[in-house]
Amino acid sequence: MIYVSLISYTPDPERTIATAARVSASPVGATEIKKQLTPQAVDRLLTRLLTSGHLSTFEHASFTFAIEGISRVTSHQLVRHRIASFTQQSQRYVSLKEADYITPATISARPELEAKYHDLARDCHRLYLELLEAGIPAEDARYVLPSAMETRLVMTMNARELLHACSLRLCLRAQWEIVELFELIKAEVEMVAPRLGAELKPKCYRLGYCDEAESCGIFPTAKEVLDEKAKKE
Ligand SMILES: Cc1cc2nc3c(=O)[nH]c(=O)nc-3n(C[C@H](O)[C@H](O)[C@H](O)COP(=O)(O)OP(=O)(O)OC[C@H]3O[C@@H](n4cnc5c(N)ncnc54)[C@H](O)[C@@H]3O)c2cc1C
């Protein structure tokens, strides 16, 4: 099961973003602005920043998550987000004594295939342990482990990158495991920054249409929107 915990974050993240935004057009400094801003003013400012696309101000708030129980398939997708910081448990330095791996629901739903899947995963892990036992370093023995193996990591993202990564990874066209991961990330952010958390959503909500080849059904694709428009003209 995926585990996500927000272990650290910029204190008062939404007020910090709003304060930074106000600095650009204020005769007083950030300390004074931060004190004066009411919750309503913070909310209004965040709305304005989001609708105007003044997103650099969101870089002033950062969030650090402990993430566990994801496969290496998903951690590989996750670390493609370059405007984030990652520290992942090393398979070079940590020997994996247990065969902890992810089983996709599509495979669990097929008992005849699931049995083969588990057999292979356990065989790989057994060979891994045998290699370690024979003195092969963990960094080399790990080559036999499947991408399904569980991993844990710490990830820090600023709020701008969270908006961007969620727009891609909460899209139901992304893979189920990374969608589940980002749903948990969103839930953690919502607890400390509800206004920001509510903005963590798939890109179609901002676009007003689906830019994928096939829509999941929430919004029509760009082509469907154009076809509909052409029909009306
Ligand atoms: C559904 C889905 C399918 C995918 N399939 C594939 C696939 O088949 N193969 C594959 O290789 N990848 C695939 N990816 C990964 C994808 O190509 C991106 O690498 C990943 O989503 C990171 O997104 P990003 O580059 O926009 O953002 P980030 O790395 O998070 O960066 C954020 C933003 O910063 C800016 N930025 C960052 N670095 C640079 C830079 N060097 N130069 C200019 N601007 C920069 C860009 O505006 C970027 O959007 C897939 C992603 C998704 C969501």
Tell me how far CA of residue 182 lies from CA of 39, 75, 137, 150, 179, in angstroms: 27, 12, 34, 17, 5
Q: Is 61 within 8 Å of 159 (Cβ atoms)?
A: yes
**What are the domain boundaries of the chain?**
3-86+150-201, 105-144, 204-233
Q: CA-CA distance, 142 to 129, in Å (whole number)? A: 9
Measured by CA distance, the residue closest to atom 14 of ligand 1 is: 77
Q: CA-CA distance, 37 to 16, in Å (whole number)? A: 10
Could you tell me the pLDDT band of residue 186, with boundaries at 50, 70 and 90? very high
Nearest ligand 1 atom, CA 175: 1
The string of pLDDT tens digits covering residues 122-137 is: 999 999 999 999 999 9
| Fold assignment, 3-86+150-201 | Gyrase A; domain 2 (3.30.1360)
The structure's pTM equals 0.95
Query: Nearest 5°: CA angle at 136, between 131 and 142?
Result: 70
| Backbone φ/ψ region at 136: left (φ over 0), alpha (ψ -120 to 50), beta | beta
98 CA to centre of own chain: 26
Nearest ligand 1 atom, CA 82: 29
